[in-house]
Amino acid sequence: MKRLLTLIILVTLCSCGPVSAATLNGIVTRVLDGDTIDIGKDRVRFRYIDAPESKQKSGPMSTAYLKSLVEGKEVTVIYTTKDLYKRIIGTVMLGKTNVNKMMVSEGYAWSYKGYDTKAFRSLQSSARTSMVGMWKENEGEGSCEPWNFRKKLCTEN
């Protein structure tokens, strides 16, 4: 009986296969902030990054930069999941440009601690060293991390 149960579990796990990525193509109809856009009725949250909140010192600058990149333009979103708010969590591509990476490398978003990758942490480190985007505005210090700002663990002047 134990062998049969083990076999059933293994067959079930193996038959599921890898999760395949889906794509969404469309025109960006609205930029909500530095890491969230609307494509028609679909809301997309950028994967691996966290941009300053609108009430943070660098928030409006981050939103404006993202608007200059994608608003009114056709993008492709590569995704595998949605979050609790039913937003698509994905990588936004403008042609061959990875917009998620660009937001971090140009200093307009943080590598999202706990959800990021080594590549995104490296891009953030380079942006900070180069003092671009929010790192320039805040003299290399950046602002309060958005995830801490939302939890009210820090404030900004």
Do 74 and 27 form a contact (C-beta atoms < 8 A)?
A: yes
Within-domain flag for 155 = no
Within-domain flag for 2 = no
Within-domain flag for 9 = no
pLDDT of residue 115: 83
Q: Is the confidence at residue 9, as pLDDT, over 60?
A: no
Pick the catalytic residue: 47, 53, 106, 128? 53
Which 3 state secondary structure label does DSSP give 99? helix
Determine which helix (DSSP H) or strand (DSSP E) holds 118, and give its type and residue range: helix 118-130
Within-domain flag for 118 = yes
Pick the catalytic residue: 45, 47, 106, 128? 45
> 26 exposed, middle or buried (CB, 10 Å; 0-12, 13-18, 19+)?
middle
Do 76 and 90 form a contact (C-beta atoms < 8 A)?
A: no
Within-domain flag for 95 = yes
Strand partners, 39: 42
CATH of the domain at 94: 2.40.50.90
Is 106 annotated in the active site?
A: no
Query: Across residues 69-73, what is the average pLDDT?
Result: 98
Q: Is the confidence at residue 144, as pLDDT, over 80?
A: yes
Q: State the residue range of the domain holding 42.
A: 21-150
Within-domain flag for 69 = yes
Structural domain count of the chain: 1
Within-domain flag for 47 = yes
Strand 88-94 relative to strand 74-82: parallel, antiparallel, unpaired? antiparallel
Is 45 annotated in the active site?
A: yes
Q: Is the confidence at residue 48, as pLDDT, over 50?
A: yes
